[in-house]
Amino acid sequence: MNSNNDQENETQKMKSEFNELSTSNLGSVNNKNCSYCNNPFTAEELCCKNCGLYNIMEGWSSENSDIDKFIKDTMYNEIEKARHRIYCQFKCLEWVPFGRFTNIKKIGEGGFAKVYSAMWNDGRLNYEKYCDWKKLDSKPIKVALKRLNGSQNISTDYLNGLKMDYDLLKFYGITKDPITNEFMTILRFAERGNLRDILSNNFNNMFWKEKINLLCNLSTYLKNSHEMGYIHKNFHSGNVFYNSSCKRYYIADYGIYGSASEQNSNNKIYGVLPYIAPEVLNGKPHTLSSDVYSFGIIMTELSSGKPPFYDKEHNAGLGLDICKGLRPEFGEDTPEIYKKLASRCMNANSNQRPTAIQLNKMLEFWKNSIDGKTYGYKEEKIKTAFENADIEIRDISIEKNPDAVYTSRIFTFSELSEPINSYYFYHKSCSYCGKSFIEEFWCEECDPYNIMEGWNSGDPNVDKFIKDTMYNASQKSQNKFLEWIPFDRFIDIELIGKGEYTEVYSATWIDGRSHYYKLDGNWRKSGSGHTRVVLKKLNSSQNISIKYLNELKKYYELNKSGLNFYGMSKNPKTEEFLLITEFANNGNLRNILSSNFNNIFWNDKIKLLYNLAIDLKNLHERKYFHKNLHSGNILQIHNGYTLRDSYNSGTFRKKVYYNVKRLQQRLLDNAYYILDFGLTGLACEQKDNIIYGVLPYIAPEVLNGESYTSLSDIYSFGIIMVELSSGKPPFYDRKHDSDLALDICKGLRPEFGKGPPEIYKKLAYRCMSVNLDHRPTANELYSILNDWHNYEIVGYKRKITKLMFEEADKEIPNISSLYSKNSGAICTSRKFTFSNMPKPVNSSIIASYLKDLPRELIDYKKISNNCSRCNKPFIEESWCKTCDPYCMINGWTSGSLEVDEFISNTIYKAGSESNSTFIEWVPFDRFANKELIGEGGFAQVYSATWIDGKSKYEKQNDENWIKLNFVPKKVVLKKLNESQDISAKFLNELKTHWKLNAKSYDSTLKFYGMTMDPKTKEFMMIIEFANKGSLSNILSKNFSNLLWKDKIKLLYFVTIDLKNLHELGYLHMDLHSGNILQNGEASYISDFGLSGPAGKQESQDKLYGVLPYIAPEVLNREPYTFSSDIYSFGIIMTELSSGKPPFHSREHDLSLALDICNGTRPEFGKDTPEIYKKLAYRCMNANSIQRPTVIELNEILKFWYISTNQNIMGDNEEKIRAIFKEADKKIPNVSISYEKDTKYVSRALSFDNLPKPINSPIITSYLNSEGLYRLI
């Protein structure tokens, strides 16, 4: 049979069938009711106006209710996404009459479908929404029609497959052959054909870079479908296509396989045999892993350019061979890493195949390596492997077996063997976890940092310790881990210190630390270089003890955020291990005090102790102790103070930076790190009954044989406090022996330097007390030192503390830092054994300092007042910490309980929510330069300079509040007439203004606080000063310079405030151009004097406001609504267009009110754009129900604002921009001359017997002009 003749005959047959179609088959739309809402619509209308696009082209039917529902469901879901958008474009799945296709040509046929190319005359439905929906012009497009054989009675399973295909690929629509009644899907036409065609025609022009990119695309599709729970089940190169518009490959035909009428038979296998997983051939169900097998087959096809098993008959024999391990051959010179990944995909054991997520991750890594987006040893190796494979051009001509069929078919196999792998499936295993490598030298789970197999420290426990840090870092996506560094990678080694158990060297690490970071799921190595480090040799560590190794592990955990612990090495001569740590360039605290004591002021000392306390607190919270805390293992590096190397703290602070200036040589704020916790004694012996350390710092109870506790660290901390005050090591003039230990137990303590504050000595003595109950915890130390070091914290006590330490600074130059050290005063860690030590006691001086515990460190004057809000006692003068976080001083009063409560509530709420926005009571004498700038019916407005400025506070982690810097500020004082006896109306204004302020602080005119005029006793609101004044003033002085984009921007900002107000449930009720203020580039609504909750409006005999802005229904005694504010907004729009106040030439009296109810509205300026006028008329509609909501207004004006003020490209944006730019040309022609008067202030009004509001003919004509709807 001649296939070409068959194809030509088939095409002619299709054409004749199409020509027989009558126009009645195209579907018609008659007058009918909407099936969603049951309202009528006409044949000319695209859809029911009420339901939008929910019933596109009513009247069509596929004659299959399931298909109809499927198509309408996709429309519904897409429309729902656009429901609340003011502007969007919309495309959906469509039902397309068969006669809308021409130039139909058969281009392919499979076991269950035929595929045609065709020209779709109408093209896709394309709608644009801008308030209303509009159908845009569509162009004819070339598509593929896939006829689903046997789909006259389409099965539920097959329909589910169609739904899956749509979810993933968004095909265009469905049609039906009217002759055969078989359904056809309408697909994107792939110009290059499928992947099999592409490989056949263009293989030698496809480089590995493109192949890996192709596989990345496919793995992404596969990953996404698997995450959605979809299995492809028929994945082969014949349904992989190239999308030229986005330059990506994609997978087609998800779940669509077999006959459309037979999808429930579980004993039949569908597909292209070489791509079907062996377990499926063996009768097991398809799984996600079965798709991965097919992916592996495609990988072989990409490497060779030949279809899999092209030379074999696709029958039961091939199925049997596949189950026995036969796989397609790779092309010559295919990189080994590629073969290994493909082989993993084709593994006979489905549980050992990678997931689609793992595949995607690996292929993305390869792609980035080839593109040069990642760098490092592995990346370079991958890039080179694929570049070398591109060199050869291969002959891919094949002699295809006539029975090698690459279209989907039905198979039924029986008695196939259990799937096995062939001999070439091999994987090296990881030494850490025992799992197979997924490529050379890389276990994905254990070796993200490219651990090179083969290194060995010589001690399996050390090896495991180092690899554990790498493994844990990879699991937590961290960048820090330990390395094993060969000793020959260090140069310039120099001995810099020696103790009884260790020797310390400085050295240069040639390679520097390896730095990795995780990006897009892949690890990337950043550059390293020569690094100066410390090598700490652990004496006698050839046979390192488990106990000491445990200390090393804790040491590592504690230094992740502190002094860097880089790794380990070994001295090849002595076989002793070395720790590699960060080099401390400024030495230890003892050396610094010795060389620079007179330049270290108390501010620096308190900061140092504060940061040491932070890390000691973190250490103790994790139930660990330091055990060897002294000034010799506190090292100084760079800028910022923090304590490091604290035994098992793990949550160390990052380096904190300060800027401390001093009169003499400036001591830079440096980072202090604690070193050598737990690492005392020989590495080969770690016994609990031996005392290690520097004697003066060891707590007396430990000297007496008791166990070490966290409070023993606190004792050492107290000794360091003494050392900081004197600049001299403790007991520098005595031999450190059993006699000193005996005296320490009897109460002897080092001497303080000259002049430390008594509170400092008292705290140090508490730390050094033999009574453990007297010693503060690390948490208490932190809290006290935080109060001391942070002078910005507000409060009486803080001021006293600051003065004490500043006074102590004056004594520092008088303290001699010279001393003669006893040769027996050894300040390095040693081993001690004492016996018969007496029970520790406090000296008389310590007892005198501690006799009144518990007491405040400072004997502040106490007052008995309780907080006026919660009635709890103050913790310092006039400050209840619970209720007054901003130091709201008890004693002020506004003179009104209601106002006091209102202000207190804002402070209290701000404190509980860690929010520094609140209202203040400000004494009137804190304002200067007061000047009357405006006066209305109910208020007078002044500008003034607030001398202190707005207080701003921040809440710290310790719950204290810091007051930030403030400067004098220009503000507005709004005096509320007759407010001596505060009214509910006035309180409403306060609450409304504050709620709006709190809701959107950055986009609202700020309400700072309140004061009172001491002469008139009238309250005044303190409000942000609007530097450009009110809108009415701006229009009066500067109208000719306002472009339309400026007007649109102003209106948009006003809708933001109005929207926030309405969302709070409040109405403005007095909106006019006099209370729209301009500050910088932003516009704000002010004057909420008439505002109130929408549901709480009382009936009144009088109206208040400015007559031209009051909605006609309100004039007619109907209650105020949200829509009434919208009316006022529309009047403001007319004012912006003309530059003149509304009805400026008329008296604001009963006659005007009558005309407003009869439809009279202010005039627009000359050449105002029609879309602008239409929107304004919608706002001024006499029917309040038909006015737009503030949300709709905001969205429309936002779109106009974006179109006129920003460079957003698009057809509608361009149209809007052009309309308003054209109107700008006419602005000079708009006359703004008029006689000004003072009637535009709010006042009381009263009207009776006004008619029911109606629209004028001009308003009605605009509201009925549907043509303008799409732009507003």
Per-residue pLDDT, averaged over 913-927, amounts to 75
Least confident window among 71-85, 621-635, 1070-1084, 1167-1181: 71-85
Assigned CATH for 864-1025? 3.30.200.20
Measure the CA–CA gap between 189 and 197, rounded to whole angstroms: 14
Do residues 90 and 53 lie in contact, with contact meaning Cβ atoms separated by under 8 Å?
Answer: yes
State how far the Cα of 715 lies from the Cα of 721, in Å rounded to an integer: 10
**123: Cβ–Cβ under 8 A, 6 or more apart, which residues?**
138, 139, 140, 141
**pLDDT (tens digit per residue) in 247-282:** 777 777 644 443 434 444 455 788 899 999 999 998
- Ranking 212-216, 437-441, 1079-1083 by mean pLDDT, the lowest is 437-441
Q: What pLDDT does residue 1061 have?
A: 82
CA end-to-end span of the chain: 64
Residue type for position 793: I
Return the pLDDT at 1156.
94
Rounded Cα distance between 47 and 30, Å, is 11
pLDDT at residue 1111, rounded to an integer: 94
Q: What pLDDT does residue 695 have?
A: 93
Residue 965 has pLDDT above 70, yes or no: no
Residue type, 1190: V
* Contact assessment for residue 648 and residue 616, using Cβ atoms and an 8 Å cutoff: no
Residue 374 has a pLDDT of 61
Q: Does pLDDT of 1125 surpass 70?
A: yes
Residue 898, Cα to own-chain centre: how many angstroms? 42
Confidence check: pLDDT of 788 > 70: yes
Amino acid at 373: K
Q: 599-640+662-859: which CATH topology?
A: Transferase(Phosphotransferase); domain 1 (1.10.510)
Question: Which helix H or strand E contains 535, and what residues bound it?
Answer: strand 531-538
Task: Check residue 93 and give its pLDDT.
Answer: 78
Q: Domain segments of the chain: what residues?
A: 32-61, 62-189, 198-425, 451-583, 599-640+662-859, 864-1025, 1029-1271
**In the predicted model, what is the mean pLDDT of residues 611-628?**
81
Tell me what the pLDDT averaged over the chain comes to.
Answer: 75
Residue 835's Cβ-side half-sphere holds a number of Cα atoms within 13 Å equal to 0
What lies within 8 Å, CB to CB, of 440 at 6+ separation is: 336, 337, 381, 428
The H or E element that residue 141 is part of is strand 141-148
**The pLDDT of residue 743 is above 90:** yes
CB 238 within 8 A of CB 190: no
Residue 564 contacts residue 536 (beta carbons within 8 Å): no
The band of 635, judged by pLDDT with boundaries at 50, 70 and 90, is: confident
In angstroms, what CA-CA distances link 941 with 931, 973, 1021, 1025?
A: 8, 6, 9, 11
How far apart, in whole angstroms, are the C-alpha atoms of residue 1007 and residue 993?
7
pLDDT, position 65: 81
Q: What is the mean pLDDT of residues 1043-1065?
A: 88
The helix (H) or strand (E) run that includes residue 1200 is helix 1190-1205
Range in 376-380, 499-503, 1080-1084 the model is least confident about: 376-380
Going by C-alpha positions, the residue among 226, 222, 181, 240 that lies closest to residue 63 is 181
Q: State pTM to two decimals.
A: 0.42
pLDDT at 650: 26
Q: What is the DSSP string of 899-918?
A: HHHHHHHHHHHHHHTT----
Q: What is the pLDDT of residue 999?
A: 62
pLDDT of 595 reads 84
Residue 310 has pLDDT above 80, yes or no: yes
Angle, helices 1044-1063 vs 1211-1224, to 10°: value is: 120
- Contact in structure between 827 and 694 (CB atoms under 8 Å): yes
Four-way CATH pick for 62-189: 1.10.10.10, 3.30.200.20, 3.40.190.10, 3.40.640.10:
3.30.200.20
Q: Please check the confidence at residue 466 and state whether its pLDDT lies above 70.
A: yes
Comparison of pLDDT for 881 and 756, the residue scoring more: 756
Lowest average pLDDT, out of 118-127, 519-528, 778-787, goes to: 519-528
pLDDT classification of 1244: cutoffs 50, 70, 90: confident
Fill in the DSSP letter of residue 1176: H
The Cα 667–Cα 658 span in angstroms is: 11
The kind and range of the H/E element at 577 are strand 577-582
**pLDDT value at position 701?**
94
The predicted structure's pLDDT at residue 47: 45
Look at 406-410, 554-558, 1190-1194 and tell me which has the smallest mean pLDDT.
554-558
What local confidence, expressed as pLDDT, does residue 84 receive? 56
Provide the pairing of β-strand 1007-1012 with 920-921. parallel
**pLDDT of res. 954:** 60
Q: Quick one: pLDDT at residue 86?
A: 54
Residue 346: pLDDT band with limits 50, 70, 90? very high
CA-nearest of 653, 672, 682 to 586 is: 672
pLDDT at 1095 over 50: no
Span 793-805, pLDDT tens digits: 444 456 677 788 8
**Domain spanning 451-583: which superfamily?**
Phosphorylase Kinase; domain 1 (3.30.200.20)
Buried b (16+ CB within 10 A) or exposed e, 756-780: bbebbbbbbbbbbbbeeebbbebee
* Higher-pLDDT residue of 1176, 6: 1176
pLDDT the model gives residue 130? 52
| Residue 498 φ then ψ, to 5° | -150, 135
Three-state SS at 1038: helix
1260 token code pair:
């009605």
What is the percent of the chain where pLDDT is above 90? Answer: 18
pLDDT for residue 1235: 67
Q: Which has more confidence, 861 or 1258?
A: 1258
Integer Cα distance of 333 and 543 in angstroms: 50
CA distance 579 to 679: 11
pLDDT band of residue 454 (cuts 50, 70, 90) is low
Q: Tell me if residue 864 falls in helix, strand or coil.
A: coil
Given a contact cutoff of 8 angstroms between Cβ atoms, the answer to whether 875 and 882 are in contact is no
Q: What is the arithmetic mean of pLDDT over 679-697?
A: 64
Q: Is the peptide bond before 854 cis (omega within 30 degrees of 0)?
A: yes
* Sequence letter at residue 910: A
Angle in degrees, CA 1025, 1031, 1036, rounded to 5: 120
Q: Is the pLDDT of residue 1175 over 90?
A: yes
CA distances from 844 to 749, 838, 1130 (A): 11, 17, 85
Of 176-185, 536-545, 1045-1054, 1228-1237, the poorest mean pLDDT is in: 1228-1237
Q: Are strands 670-674 and 634-639 parallel, antiparallel or unpaired?
A: antiparallel
**Per-residue confidence (pLDDT) for residue 18, from 0 to 100:** 38
CATH of 1029-1271, one of 3.20.20.100, 1.10.510.10, 1.20.120.1760, 3.90.550.10: 1.10.510.10
Long-range contacts of 193-197 (CB under 8 A, 24+ apart): 193/241, 194/237, 194/238, 194/239, 194/240, 194/241, 195/237, 195/238, 195/240, 195/241, 195/242, 195/249, 195/298, 195/301, 196/236, 196/237, 196/238, 196/301, 196/307, 196/406
Highest mean pLDDT among 294-298, 499-503, 667-671: 294-298
Using a pLDDT cut of 70, give the percent of the chain over it: 69
Q: What is the pLDDT of residue 834?
A: 87
CATH topology match: 864-1025 vs 1029-1271? no
Helix (H, G, I), strand (E, B) or coil at 1134: helix
Number of H helices, E strands in the chain: 33, 41
Tell me if 613 sits within 8 A of 527, measured CB to CB. Answer: no
Sequence-distant contacts of 1146-1151: CB under 8 A, at least 24 apart:
1148/1106, 1148/1107, 1148/1108, 1148/1239, 1149/1107, 1150/1247
pLDDT band at 298 (very low <50, low <70, confident <90, very high): very high
Work out the pLDDT band at 491, boundaries 50, 70, 90.
Answer: very high
CB of 1170 closer than 8 Å to CB of 1263:
no
SS3 1199: helix
Selection from 143, 151, 57, 60 nearest residue 102 by Cα: 143
Q: Are strands 141-148 and 183-188 parallel, antiparallel or unpaired?
A: antiparallel
Which residues of 1025-1128 form beta strands (DSSP E)?
Answer: 1066-1067, 1076-1079, 1082-1085, 1092-1093, 1103-1105
3-state secondary structure of 1105: strand
The pLDDT assigned to 67 comes to 83
Question: Is 944 within 8 Å of 924 (Cβ atoms)?
Answer: no
The two three-digit tokens of residue 168, written as one number: 């993933």
Q: Which two tokens stand for residue 740?
A: 């000193």
Whether domain 198-425 has CATH 2.40.50.100: no
Per-residue HEC secondary structure of 609-678 comes to HHHHHHHHHHHHHCCCCCCCCCHHHEEEEEECCCCCCCCCCCCCCCCCCCCCCCCCCCCCCEEEEECCCC
Six token digits for residue 1249: 């017997």
